[in-house]
Structure 1
Amino acid sequence: MKLPYTEVEFDAKGGYVDPEQIDEAEKLLDDKRPTDVIVVAHGWNNTAGQARELYERLVDSIVAVRPRVPGAASRRLAVVGVLWPSIQWAPVENDGAGAGIGDELAALEAEIAERVDDAGTRERLLALAPRLDTSSEAQEEFVALLRTTLPQASEGEDGGGFEALTKAPAAEVMAAARGGGALEGAPAAAGGAASLDPAGLEPLPAGGGAGFFDSIVGAARNLVNVATYYTMKERAGTVGTKGIADLLDRLHAHSGDTRLHLVGHSFGGRAMTAATVATSAPVSSLSLLQAAYSHFGMAEGWDGARKNGLFVTAPGKVHGPIIITHTRNDKAVGIAYPIASRLARQIGVGLGDENDPYGGIGRNGALKTPGGAAGKLLDVGGTYAFAEHDVWSLDADAFITGHGDVTGRQVGYAVLSAVTST
């Protein structure tokens, strides 16, 4: 690591895995006396090594562009890496039409084996998988078992349909996962991310047609992703609210003059936004890199009336800018996120874009958000006009090619520009 670095690991409930890591973080502050500490959280990775690799690549880019960022030379930087037990999301970019049923079944079985924690549930799902194409009873049991892996509740702008997902008849849930129906009580409409072939982004013909979502096994894979989504959503919020927020409080109490800057990728963006709302420590900047939560997460009156986003207070709590990279190239947030939401509530509306009520912030930026501004992710050397309490949605189509592509020099330049703006 090219900057002073330490890490703190949390469990799924936001508790410290090793409390001595707090002492190590405080020692880093004492030894290096940084002016600015960057606290960074990964998203859906399944190993600590993947997270560390992400952090190292991002830090490499920050160091490389440092001479080009005004005021950066006078800052003493240190990094605290957050580790938390996230779950690997299925690789949406690799899904699509053309896969044989045997290939799809093998992929489903691999994803169940990797991402279902409870051994008994995992074995029962694996036993059901080969029968899904021929047995409605197997489909019903599969849906019922997946429901046991879900959290008890899901709050937020996209949480209204969670109850429908947990209570609708299994046949309706499976039909929705295939792109061919809507859950009872949810308005139906034509088109939309739930009726897309994720490989080619082409709408399926009315009433069906060839594509990933026409396969029962493919629908089952999608439902496994939905269960992963809701588990990750709850866990990221818990880790941010109970774990990272406490870490920030402690760092600030130990070294009150050190500015704290938060960076979160994917569901790590949700964790960092939750921490921003919960902490009593001042946050100097917040960088959300392809964050996985609703584009109304920081909104006021997102429903056209009185409903505010779950994180509506975040902009007022960040002294400097909040920057958000977003791109249509992100299939994980741009497609899987609205599919996950619509399977629970509203099938086939929009394309995951800004007109989609269940769109993601990593796809569209922050909508209906106080202090919100639209911009572009700039090349190294560009000029950002960041100011206090700004929320900048940076169109990253030109530089970010997919969900995990968040460590390039343009991203490092934007993050460091946010850091030095305060």
Structure 2
Amino acid sequence: MTSAQQVALGGGATADLFLLRYGKDGSLLSVKAEEEIRSRLSASTDVFLFSHGWNNIFQKALDRYRGFIVGYSGQREAFGVPGQPGYQPLLIGVIWPSTSFVFPWEAGPAIAAAPDPDGREAAEAEEMLRLVMESLPASKQPEFVEGIDGRTTVGREDALKLAELALTSLRPLDSDDGSRRPEVSEFLDKIWAKLDAGEEAVRDDADDEIGLVEDTDDDAVGIAGGFSFDPRNLLRVATVWKMKARAGDIGVHGVAPLLRHILSQDGPRLHLIGHSFGARVLLSGLATAEPTRKAHSMLLLQPAVNRWCFAANVAGTGRKGGYHAVPDLVERPLLTTMSEHDAPLRKFFHLAMRGGHLGEPDLAAFGNTDLYGALGGYGPYDEGDGRTARQTATSPGENLYDLDSGARVIGVDGSLDVDGRPAIPSHGDISSPATWWALHCLTRPN
């Protein structure tokens, strides 16, 4: 009995979609499903592996995978897109434990004491607290809980203690590259205060030069003359740290072994599609898989990773980005979308990730979004060496992306309208004719 879901491809054809669930440490929980996947490889022409972002609800992830596959397949039929001879796809969806709520700033920063009639914000805070608590030493958990529970403001002294607990437990020192986490006072005054000040302060911070971020004015910090802090914003930042680290663990310990096996087999082309932190899952997986042949294509949809991650020389540090080698492990140029309509990645990602070092997979530092912005918000950094290029999202049909320019990474700008709507209108709205067409451009036969 198969453990796969059936997905309609159009024209009466169907394909099997296998869902692989992983534990928070990357341990595989769907052992039989993976065994069946391995047994199907020799009969497949193409393997499509999807990884979701900020969402761990099984049914919702399944629905999103189905929606993307059905849209992509319907487009193939509508436009007569050629496939591999004897086209037989095998579909795999990763299910990894992120969080059941939206990206922490999908709806903007929290406002202290704002009404919460349906209890949603309280439920989100409860889940974020649970996630953060998993990484705190047992002896420190009571102090942290008492500083958070039922409070929308804390004084500076309590805020310092809470920040110290979060920083030391969730942002450890990275001794291998000489980097540092932000000092507690830096975090308090330049990150937490900015988030409490609201959207305008965050937007203003986007133009700060590295090392020249001004202290937030006390009157803008929030209530109580700048000496109170909203602990919910600390939870939001800490949750981003937690999910960033977890996505890497899922990729390295969970997905990499599967990629290694698929790419050790002759035959099926491998296509990787990741959204948000799911892009980090796939990047980390491929970077550590040590494959014996290349994946065929990779499509990153609003990736929540740093824009320097593919760079040969990160911001003049002499270090390569953590995923610098990945584009050379893929036959086709890597396509990565970006959009000015993605509020979480345009306005908040660089704040949550700021600290004292550069380059994914361990990036975070004070400075502007040119240096520290998200790949899905600002696109890949162009060092002028021809390795990176930019193209605008295109309508499906005759227009194809230029994959022969020599660029290994192509940033696809989804800010402009395609067929009457932005190609990427928000962080989560990434299944559309424009993104399906981007995958077709990558998967067309040579």
Residue of 320, 323, 331 corresponding to 2:335: 323
Partner of residue 384, structure 1: 401
Residue of 30, 54, 57 corresponding to 2:64: 54
Q: 1:419 to 1:155 in 2, by over 3 A?
A: farther
Question: In the aligned structure 2, how far is the partner of 1:90 from the partner of 1:41?
Answer: 16
Indicate the SS of the match to 1:303: helix
Give the conservation status (yes or no) of the 8 Å contact 1:291–1:362.
Answer: yes
- The more displaced of 267-276 and 85-94 is 85-94
Residue of 45, 65, 88 corresponding to 1:76: 88
Residue 231 of structure 1 and its aligned partner are, at CA, apart by: 1.8
Give the conservation status (yes or no) of the 8 Å contact 1:292–1:361.
Answer: yes
Residue of 414, 425, 435 corresponding to 1:396: 414
Give the conservation status (yes or no) of the 8 Å contact 1:72–1:416.
Answer: no
Residue of 330, 334, 351 corresponding to 2:346: 334
Residue 155 of structure 1 and its aligned partner are, at CA, apart by: 8.9
For structure 2, the 5+ residue unaligned runs are 1-6, 9-14, 206-213, 358-363, 416-421
Question: Which residues of 2 match residues 121-136 of structure 1 at below 5 A?
Answer: 124-129=143-148, 130=150, 133=153, 135-136=155-156
Residue 310 of structure 1 and its aligned partner are, at CA, apart by: 0.6
- The more displaced of 256-265 and 71-80 is 71-80
Partner of residue 415, structure 1: 439
Question: In the aligned structure 1, how far is the partner of 2:309 from the partner of 2:267?
Answer: 30
Identity among equivalent positions (%) equals 23
Question: In the aligned structure 2, how far is the partner of 1:216 from the partner of 1:66?
Answer: 58
Residue 144 of structure 1 and its aligned partner are, at CA, apart by: 3.4
Identify which of structures 1 and 2 has the higher relative contact order when contacts are C-alpha pairs closer than 8 Å and 6+ apart: 1
**What letter matches 2:431 in structure 1?**
T
Residue 4 of structure 1 and its aligned partner are, at CA, apart by: 2.3
Give the conservation status (yes or no) of the 8 Å contact 1:93–1:331.
Answer: yes
Residue 221 of structure 1 and its aligned partner are, at CA, apart by: 2.6
Residue by residue over 1:342-394, the C-alpha shift from the partner in whole angstroms, topping out at 9 and shown as x without a partner, is 366788743x3xxx211111112211366211101111112222247731100
**What letter matches 1:409 in structure 2?**
P
Question: In the aligned structure 2, how far is the partner of 1:114 from the partner of 1:229?
Answer: 13
Give the conservation status (yes or no) of the 8 Å contact 2:67–2:431.
Answer: yes
Q: 1:126 to 1:13 in 2, by over 3 A?
A: closer
Give the conservation status (yes or no) of the 8 Å contact 2:45–2:84.
Answer: no
Residue 62 of structure 1 and its aligned partner are, at CA, apart by: 0.6
Residue of 12, 25, 40 corresponding to 2:37: 25
Partner of residue 302, structure 1: 314
Q: 1:277 to 1:73 in 2, by over 3 A?
A: closer
Residue by residue over 1:299-347, the C-alpha shift from the partner in whole angstroms, topping out at 9 and shown as x without a partner, is 0112225221011111111111200000111112222210112366788
For structure 1, the 5+ residue unaligned runs are 181-193
Residue of 63, 79, 102 corresponding to 2:73: 63
Question: TM-score scaled by structure 2?
Answer: 0.77
Residue by residue over 1:181-225, the C-alpha shift from the partner in whole angstroms, topping out at 9 and shown as x without a partner, is xxxxxxxxxxxxx79743897538972555779977765333222
Question: Which residues of 2 match residues 217-236 of structure 1 at below 5 A?
Answer: 219-236=230-247
**What letter matches 1:386 in structure 2?**
L
Q: 1:421 to 1:287 in 2, by over 3 A?
A: farther
1:36 and 2:51 aligned: no
Residue 401 of structure 1 and its aligned partner are, at CA, apart by: 1.1
Give the conservation status (yes or no) of the 8 Å contact 2:283–2:326.
Answer: yes
Q: 1:90 to 1:278 in 2, by over 3 A?
A: closer
**What letter matches 1:404 in structure 2?**
G
Give the conservation status (yes or no) of the 8 Å contact 2:389–2:409.
Answer: yes
Give the conservation status (yes or no) of the 8 Å contact 1:260–1:283.
Answer: yes
Residue of 342, 367, 373 corresponding to 2:381: 367
Residue by residue over 1:73-127, the C-alpha shift from the partner in whole angstroms, topping out at 9 and shown as x without a partner, is 7533221111112234544242358x45254897775334102234767765443
1:139 and 2:149 aligned: no
1:243 and 2:247 aligned: no
Give the conservation status (yes or no) of the 8 Å contact 1:174–1:216.
Answer: no
Question: In the aligned structure 2, how far is the partner of 1:216 from the partner of 1:16?
Answer: 46
Residue of 101, 110, 117 corresponding to 2:123: 110
Question: In the aligned structure 2, how far is the partner of 1:146 from the partner of 1:89?
Answer: 21
Partner of residue 183, structure 1: none
Partner of residue 303, structure 2: 291
1:358 and 2:372 aligned: yes
Give the conservation status (yes or no) of the 8 Å contact 1:108–1:221.
Answer: no
Indicate the SS of the match to 1:287: strand
1:164 and 2:181 aligned: yes
Residue 148 of structure 1 and its aligned partner are, at CA, apart by: 5.6
Give the conservation status (yes or no) of the 8 Å contact 1:260–1:285.
Answer: yes
**What letter matches 1:289 in structure 2?**
L
Partner of residue 185, structure 1: none
